[in-house]
Amino acid sequence: MAKAQGRRTPLQAFLYWGAVVGVWGLIAVVGFLAVFATNLPDTSKMFDVTRQPSISYLDRSGALVGVRGSQFSPPVDIDQLPPYVPAAFVAIEDKRFYHHFGFDPIGMMRMIVVDIRARRAVQGASTITQQLARNLFLTPDRTIRRKAQELVLAIWLETKFSKKQILALYLNRVFFGEGAYGIEAASQRYFNKPASKLTVGEAALLAGLMKGPSRYSPVSESERAARRANLVLAAMVDSGAITEQQRQEAISQPVRVSATLESQKAQYFVDWVDQQVRALVGQPQEDLVVETTIDLPTQLNAEYALHQGVEHAADRGVQQAALVAVDAAGRIRAYVGGADYAQSQYDRASLAQRQAGSSFKPFVYLTAMEQGHTPDQMVVDEPITIGNWQPRNYTNKYLGPMTLETAFAQSINTVAAKLGSDIGTQNVAATAHRLGITSDIQTSPSMALGAVEVTPLEMAQAYDSFANGGLSAKAYGIERIRTASGKVLFDHSLGQQPRSAVIGQPALSYMIQLMREVLASGTGVKAKIPGYDLAGKTGTTSDYRDAWFVGYTGGFTAAVWTGRDDNTPMKRVTGGSVPAEIWRQFMAMSLPRLGVQTIPGANPVPAGPENIDQILSGEPAPQPSQAGAAAQGEPPPG
């Protein structure tokens, strides 16, 4: 009987063991908090944004050209978003978000089972609240301590904020790839629209990025991103966020993703100057503003002309092109390094060294003019042999006696080769370097016909001396670098030496005469634009691997190259065809707003090149100064 009295009833046993478990559970929780809740990060600055500084690039008028670095936008009000936008993230990232208290026990158990079966970490079970805690306070380290602290902070967030506030914080702070933090920056980055205008398909695409912004990037991994977005849409249907009809409509309407921001053009140029900014001022410690030389309307004309030219000549084997335009002082006004930045970021404007072909001949003829030759000098187009080399004309024909002017306009190879041999290829190389060619120049006889590798940037820079009255013109793209608060870190105008004359008279006027004739009656007639004083030179390499047109008017020069990245031949594309047509379209669109004048230097007393700088700047042109006259090799008046 006593034994029976000492036996606990089932209820008593349940209460007893429940109390024991509860006590030990409390001890475990206290111990857990004692171990992992110590040294937690400071939560008082949770609304402060910590990020890498950004660099904003402006054109010469102050318009935004591009941004490098992290991009943040003002936080969006979650009530201003279509309901399916936050619902997409809940459906795919944390379907029990509205029912847990910071962590999901069911999801955690499922994760453990799956990982045990796979014998490796396969699934994650972080809730939206845990992800927010990690983004706000913790490092991405995969340690037990960090995961435990993440859990503690998630519970704290749930006690401090409502579900709506947590979801809003999450959407405004999460990383979406491509430098975009927050739903607003991501919407602008990928779709060129505010987050309040997102469609169902776009919302699904952004939600799909949470699994891995680079792995599921709609820019570089479009197919994988689309498959992930379809999973998100299915999850949205399961959660009741959208109907099956809405899912079908989203699938039937492909999402258009922008490779670059709509407001961001000149991306090849921004890449080019971005390296220079970091070399000039080091790694930025605060947001920077870079005032560049680029002229956005002119840049847009260049991008359009180049894209159209390559597209229309694709059946002729033209795969790529580049264009660089500079003004009289060397300021880069347009810079395009390829036909499509989204498809290829390789910058052909400054990195691709390609054979110049006959576009190199102006350096040969300028050297000859400086040694006493004249445009009306008679020469003979006939077969010649220089050492073991026998240069041939493009037409394989020989025209006999002609003037140097005609030989240049018709790009006669035999005359140029003999001229280069007579005046010395070493002298020609020196002339090219003096004008702005920075690449190494081989001095074998074939150099006279352009067996020299150069970049479009170099060619624009070198030809600019023909356009500006004979002055040196070092191409540059950065005017000023300042902090967002206004402190100037670099100013191009400070410490600059006066530009020297690199072409004197009468050689300059002779060369302008020769290059005008190229467009008037020679190989560059397709580049003519009525009403403008234009000059230039075509260039075509052997087997049609490269084709060039480099030309200018008063104080404005543009170089165009076309070819293929694999250096295979095009289909009989010459410098006087596709490149000349691209150049003409670009110049015809750009010249009316630039207010250029006739080419200075064609007369014994040319107009001062400083006038051209003023015209292109939109400022009144002063009268020629004594310094301007002296700079061109003319004695100052008086």
Which residues are catalytically annotated? 93, 358
Tally Cβ neighbours within 10 Å of residue 64.
Answer: 15
The residue whose two tokens read 């079966």 is 117
Q: How far is the C-alpha of 419 from the C-alpha of 372, rounded, in Å?
A: 12
Q: How far is the C-alpha of 436 from the C-alpha of 457, rounded, in Å?
A: 10
Query: Beta partners for 181?
Result: 72, 175
Q: How far is the C-alpha of 633 from the C-alpha of 631, rounded, in Å?
A: 6
- Residue 604, preceding peptide bond in cis (omega within 30° of 0): no
3-state SS, residue 550: strand
Q: What are the Cα distances from residue 379, in Å, to 106, 245, 354, 370, 522? A: 92, 80, 30, 17, 17
Amino acid 252 reads S
The residue whose two tokens read 């009525």 is 530
Tally Cβ neighbours within 10 Å of residue 78.
Answer: 19
* 559 contact partners, CB below 8 Å, separation of at least 6: 323, 324, 325, 456, 457, 459, 460, 463, 548, 549, 550
* 241 contact partners, CB below 8 Å, separation of at least 6: 83, 84, 87, 88, 90, 91
Q: What are the Cα distances from residue 272, in Å, to 275, 348, 543? A: 6, 11, 31
Q: Are 533 and 554 in contact (CB under 8 A)?
A: yes
φ/ψ region of 531 (left if φ > 0, alpha if ψ in -120 to 50, else beta) reads left
Q: Are 328 and 556 in contact (CB under 8 A)?
A: yes
Nearest to 629 by CA among 469, 463, 434, 461: 469
* 61 contact partners, CB below 8 Å, separation of at least 6: 295, 296
As given in the structure block, the two tokens for residue 61 are: 């008028």
